[in-house]
Amino acid sequence: MEISTHDLWTVLHGMGFGALFMLAFSGALAELYRLSAPGAPTLPSQREKNLMNAYLVAMVILAWLTVFSGAYIVYPWYRAVPPAGASDLADYPRRLLLSSGKTSEWHNVGMEWKEHVAWLAPIAMTMVAYVTMKYGRAITRPRLMRTAVLGFAVAAFVATGVAGAFGAFLNKYAPVRGGSVIILKEGER
Amino acid sequence: MSMSENRGGSGLDVDSIPNGPGAAAILAAGIGCAVVGILALAGDASNAIGKLLNFYNPTGTLSGVTTLAIIVWLVSWFALNRSWRTKNVSMGWINVAAFALLAVGFLLTFPPFMDLLQGK
């Protein structure tokens, strides 16, 4: 059982940071709604506020780790340029996709959208965390602040979903390969 | 404890917290999202701009698009916060502007829409 360093970073970017960030949305959206729902019967305790703040800060950190690891570690491998005359494009995912009309739109639409739209998520989520931590339940006064916070949180979720879905498909049709091999476990045969 | 006490996350009376800092963060987030889209379109439409945005060659134009978007977002947040930190502003207009800018960010990063604008 072995994995290459490029595979490992791709998994860390997509599953370690991105998927964990995406999974955290369900909890964040439910808690943000509960916190700011009109007529909420109880005020959150200090412990609940601290927990919510830590949760949101962790989401913001995951969001930024996802986009920076994607743009500055994985993406350069994706767009690597093959040497002139190279016929095996397996280690050059962008060129591999563009080499066929059956796969070129995975790059032209999928990667081109994913690489940009993903950056909306950390910007939006940083705002959501800041406003929620600063105002707490006060975001319901006026309710429009609550609308902005929930709207941008949903937008961050959608942006992450687009980037994550295209990332999964792109890695299926043109996986990022190469790098040093890390042997995790030797098999008997 | 009365209902007006300690409702904000900061522990302050809810009515004593101006909405300006929150509005500044919301509008700045919209600006940051829009700038990602505008620069992505500019880099795609013009080779010269694309080359200017190539801050880090392994990442290409994306490096300049995102670096500049982050700078514009943070600078606009700082400037708006300085202007509004003690004020109450009209959240209705702030929300309309922020969501419109967010929509610009989504639309201008969507390649078929970028192509449509460029007549491709």
| pLDDT per residue as tens digits for the range A37-66 | 777 666 778 888 899 999 999 999 999 999
Residues in chain A with CB shorter than 8 Å from the CB of B81 are none
Q: How confident is the model at residue B98 (pLDDT cuts 50, 70, 90)?
A: very high
**How far apart are the C-alpha atoms of A124 and A131, rounded to whole Å?**
11
Q: What is the mean pLDDT of residues A158-169?
A: 96
Which of A78, A82, A72 lies closest to B62, judged by CA? A72
Contact A139 B110 (CB under 8 A): no
ipTM summary value: 0.91
Residues in chain A with CB shorter than 8 Å from the CB of B6 are 43
With residue A183 as reference, give the H or E element that holds it: strand A181-183
Residue of A79, A141, A148 lying closest to B95 (CB–CB): A148
Q: Give the residue from chain B lying closest to A81, CA to CA.
A: B58
pLDDT digits (tens, 9 = 90+) for B53-70: 999 999 999 999 999 999
Tokens of A115: 């690489």
Label residues B86-119 b or e (16+ Cβ within 10 Å = b).
eeebebeebbebbbebbebbbebbbbeebeeeee
According to the model, what pLDDT value does residue A138 have? 77
Tokens of A4: 């290459």
| pTM, two decimal places | 0.92
What one-letter code names the amino acid at A93? P
CA angle B90, B109, A158 (to 5 degrees): 70
The residues, any chain, with a CB within 8 Å of residue A128's CB and separated by 6 or more, are: A28, A32, A56, A149, A152, A153, A156
Contact A72 B60 (CB under 8 A): no
According to the model, what pLDDT value does residue A6 have? 94
According to the model, what pLDDT value does residue A136 have? 84
Q: In this structure, are residues A22 and A164 in contact, taking their beta carbons and an 8 Å threshold?
A: yes
- Chain B: nearest CA to A22, how far in angstroms? 18
Across all residues in chain A, what is the average pLDDT?
92
pLDDT digits (tens, 9 = 90+) for A9-47: 999 999 999 999 999 999 998 888 887 777 766 677 888
Q: What is the mean pLDDT of residues B82-92?
A: 94
Residues in chain B with CB shorter than 8 Å from the CB of A139 are 22
Q: How confident is the model at residue A86 (pLDDT cuts 50, 70, 90)?
A: confident
- Chain B: nearest CA to A132, how far in angstroms? 7
Phi, psi of B59 (to 5 degrees): -95, -20
Counting Cα atoms < 13 Å in the Cβ hemisphere of B14 gives 16
pLDDT digits (tens, 9 = 90+) for B4-55: 334 444 444 555 789 999 999 999 999 999 999 999 999 999 999 999 999 9
Q: In this structure, are residues A160 and A67 in contact, taking their beta carbons and an 8 Å threshold?
A: no
